[in-house]
Amino acid sequence: MSTVELTTANFDQTVTDNEFVLIDFWASWCGPCRQFAPVYDKSSEKHSDIVFAKVDTEAQQQLAAAFEIRSIPTLAVIRDKTLIYAQPGALPEAALEDLIRQAREVDMDEVKKAAAAEQAAQEQA
């Protein structure tokens, strides 16, 4: 599957319609971003069940701000409309594949339970 250009216009729809979304925050002037792009694209060909999205931080400053992007490239993983990973840095192919494997293994019921407990605790504070 090829990568999808993510914008403020299609972000909510993309995340709502897909269980597993990987997002690469990048910019055209960023050397590490350009080095990471072929690794990301190659991985997108291997995982047809995952949406591989790209956010141009220059064109989509509002999205970059929403994710508090301070350094690029930054990779984010969203499963079941929940952000489970966001880290800056270009990953080598093996590390990206390992991240995808780990993200697949996350028990989203546990993540949602923990998030609900945390929110309840904050509301009581």
**Residue 33 among the catalytic residues:** yes
The structure tokens 């996350």 sit at: 106
Active-site choice (22, 33, 63, 69): 33
Residue at 10: amino acid letter:
N
Quote helix, strand, coil % in the chain, to nearest 5: 45, 20, 30
Active-site choice (21, 22, 30, 75): 30
Q: What tokens were used for 40?
A: 């990301």
- Count of alpha carbons within 13 angstroms of residue 55, beta-carbon side: 28
**Residue 30 among the catalytic residues:** yes
Phi, psi of 7 (to 5 degrees): -130, 170
Residues involved in catalysis: 30, 33
